[in-house]
């Protein structure tokens, strides 16, 4: 299997290339800068002669589509996606190649659904944005949790990782743009700015006390309403994490190191929670958690790309993770990487 990684020279892109190699597939490294692609290939252990490197900038739509045309799938890691994502989606569709990306940017995900759904269907291509450690597991666990209380009235998605676990410069840059766009929520068939009303504190699984949370623009607000039928979907993160993102000025973003050191990266933990309430008042709570947020993002994106291409069960169009994959099967498949999940009534 040949998997193209766009933005292969970045921090997440290099992890994705390494994951493609670990799975025994052939990585095709695509990006705008030949020297940085060569360095990424060396770092992933691919000898320069055997590595497939393709230089294509975002303005070169033909070059991008040509670079993807003989690949089974594209994993796009070039963010902020709000700025750089759409040309890569368009080129994957033009090439007839399935697409996943590692975005966590709510507004961009909405634009991909709005802009590319019909085009992807016509081309017979599956496009699954948000296959990172928040958007992927968050959408999958929301689906499993919602199923316990159908018909569903309300779902809260919360990213309850503690701040300070180590973020790359690319994440800081992307989160600054997410914060600038503001958070949305979904209610009665439409998306609108998130309510400013304070949220009840949440006791995270495994922690002794409730922590304050604040509305935040998570991918699940865009994806979860598309497959649960919930009347309302909103999202939150810990208030201390939100405060950290809100303080991201351009100077601070530039001062963040490009890469998270390996030890800190592996020690980081993530936890996505879904709380669902049925129209009859029944409640269910599900969560999924693991370590190494960036390493797991690479695993999730590459596995998502593999499943689209090999299993071929996903329909064409822009899909949420829970529409593209069997939620329990996908999460169970992450168990060898230390991921656990649970749903309780």
Ligand X SMILES: NC(=O)c1ccc[n+]([C@@H]2O[C@H](COP(=O)([O-])OP(=O)(O)OC[C@H]3O[C@@H](n4cnc5c(N)ncnc54)[C@H](OP(=O)(O)O)[C@@H]3O)[C@@H](O)[C@H]2O)c1
Judged by the rule CB under 6 A, the positions of this chain that interact with ligand X are 7, 9-13, 31-33, 36, 57-58, 77-81, 84, 102-104, 132-135, 168-171, 174, 258, 294, 297
Residue in the structure block whose two tokens are 């589509």: 65
How many Cβ atoms sit within 10 Å of the Cβ of residue 189? Answer: 7
Cβ 243 to ligand X, closest distance in Å?
Answer: 19
Q: Which is nearer to ligand X, 11 or 68 (CB)?
A: 11
Q: Which of 118, 109, 106, 65 is nearest to 87 (CA)?
A: 65
Q: Which is nearer to ligand X, 289 or 297 (CB)?
A: 297
Q: Which is nearer to ligand X, 149 or 241 (CB)?
A: 241
Q: Which is nearer to ligand X, 137 or 204 (CB)?
A: 137
CA atoms within 13 Å, Cβ hemisphere of 1:
24
Cβ 321 to ligand X, closest distance in Å?
Answer: 12
Cβ 32 to ligand X, closest distance in Å?
Answer: 4
Q: Which is nearer to ligand X, 48 or 311 (CB)?
A: 48
| Burial zone of 188 (CB within 10 Å; 0-12 exposed, 13-18 middle, 19+ buried) | exposed
Cβ 219 to ligand X, closest distance in Å?
Answer: 7
Write the DSSP assignment of 100-139 as a string of letters: EE----HHHHHHHHHHHHHHHHHHT-EEE---STTHHHHH
Cβ 64 to ligand X, closest distance in Å?
Answer: 10
CA distance 232 to 190: 9
Cβ 151 to ligand X, closest distance in Å?
Answer: 30
Sequence-ordered strand ranges (E) for the chain: 2-6, 26-31, 52-55, 73-76, 98-101, 126-128, 152-159, 184-187, 190-193, 213-215, 232-238, 269-278, 283-291, 317-318, 340-344
Cβ 257 to ligand X, closest distance in Å?
Answer: 10
Q: Which is nearer to ligand X, 21 or 152 (CB)?
A: 21
Q: How far is CA 211 from CA 163, 174, 267, 277, in A?
A: 13, 25, 22, 20
Q: Which is nearer to ligand X, 152 or 322 (CB)?
A: 322
């Amino acid at each position: 299997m040949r998997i193209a990684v766009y933005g292969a020279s970045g921090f997440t892109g290099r992890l994705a290339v390494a994951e493609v190699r670990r799975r025994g597939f052939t990585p095709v490294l695509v990006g705008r800068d030949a020297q940085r692609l060569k360095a990424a290939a060396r770092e992933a252990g691919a000898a320069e002669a055997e590595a497939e490197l393709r230089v294509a900038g975002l303005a070169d739509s033909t070059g991008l589509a040509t670079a993807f045309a003989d690949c089974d799938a594209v994993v796009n890691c070039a963010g902020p996606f709000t700025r750089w994502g759409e040309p890569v989606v368009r080129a994957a569709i033009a090439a007839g190649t399935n697409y996943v990306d590692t975005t966590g940017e709510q507004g961009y995900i909405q634009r991909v659904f709005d802009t590319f759904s019909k085009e992807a269907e016509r081309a017979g291509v599956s496009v699954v944005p948000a296959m990172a450690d928040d958007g992927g597991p968050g959408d999958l666990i929301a689906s499993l949790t919602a199923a316990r209380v159908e018909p569903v009235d309300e779902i809260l998605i919360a990213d309850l990782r503690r701040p300070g676990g180590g973020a790359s410069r690319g994440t800081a840059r992307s989160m600054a743009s997410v914060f600038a766009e503001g958070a949305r929520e979904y209610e009665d068939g439409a998306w609108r700015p998130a309510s400013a009303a304070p949220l009840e504190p949440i006791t995270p699984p495994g922690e002794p006390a409730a922590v304050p949370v604040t509305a935040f623009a998570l991918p699940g607000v865009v994806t979860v309403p598309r497959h649960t039928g919930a009347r309302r979907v909103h999202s939150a993160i810990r208030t201390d994490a939100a405060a950290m993102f809100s303080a991201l000025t351009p100077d601070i973003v530039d001062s963040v190191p490009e890469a998270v050191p390996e030890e800190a990266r592996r020690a980081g933990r993530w936890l996505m929670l879904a709380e669902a309430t049925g129209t009859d008042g029944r409640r269910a709570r599900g969560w999924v958690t693991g370590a190494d947020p960036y390493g797991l993002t690479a695993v999730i994106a590459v596995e998502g790309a593999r499943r689209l291409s090999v299993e071929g069960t996903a329909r064409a169009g822009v899909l949420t993770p829970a529409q593209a994959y069997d939620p329990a099967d996908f999460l169970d498949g992450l168990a060898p990487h230390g991921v656990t999940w649970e749903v309780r009534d």
